[in-house]
Structure 1
Amino acid sequence: MILIGQFDSPFVRRVAMALRLYGLPFEHRPWSTFGDADKIAPYNPLRRVPTLVLDDGEVLIESTAILDHLDEVVGPSRAMIAENGPRRRETLKICALATGLGDKAVSLVYERLLHQEKSEVWMKRCETQIAAVLDALEADRAGRKTTFWFSDKIGHADVVVACVIRFTREAHAGVFDARRWPALAAHAERCEALPPFREIAQPFSAPRG
């Protein structure tokens, strides 16, 4: 398999983390959606990452869809999400909140760095959405006493929340306040201390338009 995209993207990183935790070998092509868009286009016309090229040439796009396939590959006994029922829905909700937060954090990067005339209304909206999601995630995580979100075993929710928090911290200084969201800060630190997180990491690099 070939994973396309840079690890400073929380979406690429969550896929790479699943591949590593599942023990699935992959080749990494750290192509940028800006500088390497023409390289990505033959695989993904949206020129977005993550893009995963399977061994038979099939191409998967969008991190949630990619993880759904990887879960099928390893089977329900190893998958980092429940196969069905309330626990699966709870996990998908946490993941959806985290990826939504990540989308808003990326949008804020583009607005601040790529637009000469910035929309203060849009930036304020993104910041409000980010804070509201962090509040919701904090309340949920603080109410759980397990090592990871739903158990003592790491799952997709743990990975994506940690990846998104790191991206937000690096891309937007001062937006994530560990004093306001201590449970999330502790969660992120616990995940980032694990060997796969230390191995699969890349400091955020601002895009240039």
Structure 2
Amino acid sequence: MELIGMLDSPYVRRAAISLRLLGIPFEHRSLSVFRNFDEFQQTNPLVKAPTLVLDDGTLLTESGLIIDWAECTSSKPALMPSDAAQRLRATRLTGIALAASEKSVQIVYEHKREEDKRDQGWLRRVQGQLHSAYDLLERELDGKDGWLFGDTPTQADISIAVAWGFTQIVAADVIDAKAYPNLVRFSQRAEQHPDFAALPPE
């Protein structure tokens, strides 16, 4: 099977790392939804990254749905805790991390506009939401030296580390790493894991 999309997308990278952790073999095809639009469209008319092309030709889009399919397919343990209380916390933290990714992407898209056409009020609101997401995650990681829920990464770990790395690439001027030492340490540890290191942002 084939995973299509650039690893500089937090959604593509999140899906790719999850597939590796779940032991689902795939080939990565690095196509941009901008630079390679026509080529991407030949595979998926929606031109949506990530796109997972299954062996039978079925197309799956949206990182969460790809991960859900992979967990149902894999013989390895799921990437969410089985304990109900821990699963609730992991779900909440994953949601915050995905919000951070979303707000970072919105900042990227707003800066694609000509400067005189940017909505500065909306941009300030998005930047505030991004700060709020990382403020919450920074507090959650206080005093945490390893993975959030045991000895192996969960979806919360993946989503937080991937979101942070993406934001530091595209919006480091908005989110000063010095103000978030817990996130910095957590993400540095995560990026040393073989399944993260094998899939660095492009």
TM-score normalised per structure 1: 0.88
1:2-81 equivalent positions in 2, closer than 5 A: 2-75=2-75, 78-81=77-80
Question: What is the aligned partner in structure 2 of residue 106 from structure 1?
Answer: 105
2:185 aligned with 1:192 = no
- The Cα offsets for residues 28-66 of structure 1, whole Å up to 9 and x where unpaired, read as 111111122233335444322111111122211111111
Cα RMSD of the aligned pairs, angstroms, is 1.8
User: 1:146 Cα shift?
Assistant: 5.6
Q: How many residues align?
A: 201
User: 1:83 Cα shift?
Assistant: 4.3
1:156-195 equivalent positions in 2, closer than 5 A: 156-195=155-194
The answer as to whether partners of 1:44 and 1:61 remain within 8 angstroms in 2 is no
CA distance in 2, matches of 1:87, 1:158: 13
- The Cα offsets for residues 114-162 of structure 1, whole Å up to 9 and x where unpaired, read as 344111111101110000000111111216x461112222111111111
Question: What is the aligned partner in structure 1 of residue 142 from structure 2?
Answer: 142
Question: What is the aligned partner in structure 1 of residue 129 from structure 2?
Answer: 129
Letter in 1 for 2:56: D
Letter in 1 for 2:170: A
The answer as to whether partners of 1:146 and 1:152 remain within 8 angstroms in 2 is no
CA distance in 1, matches of 2:69, 2:190: 23
Greater mean deviation of Cα atoms: 58-67 or 146-155? 146-155
CA distance in 1, matches of 2:90, 2:114: 35
Letter in 2 for 1:20: R
Letter in 2 for 1:19: L
User: 1:186 Cα shift?
Assistant: 0.8
CA distance in 2, matches of 1:105, 1:115: 18
User: 1:178 Cα shift?
Assistant: 2.9
User: 1:179 Cα shift?
Assistant: 3.0
Question: What is the aligned partner in structure 2 of residue 206 from structure 1?
Answer: none
Call closer, same or farther: CA 1:115–1:85 in 2, change over 3 Å: farther
The answer as to whether partners of 1:138 and 1:183 remain within 8 angstroms in 2 is yes
Gapped runs of 5+ residues in structure 1? 204-209
Call closer, same or farther: CA 1:180–1:109 in 2, change over 3 Å: same
Letter in 2 for 1:126: V
CA distance in 2, matches of 1:69, 1:15: 11
% identical aligned pairs = 36
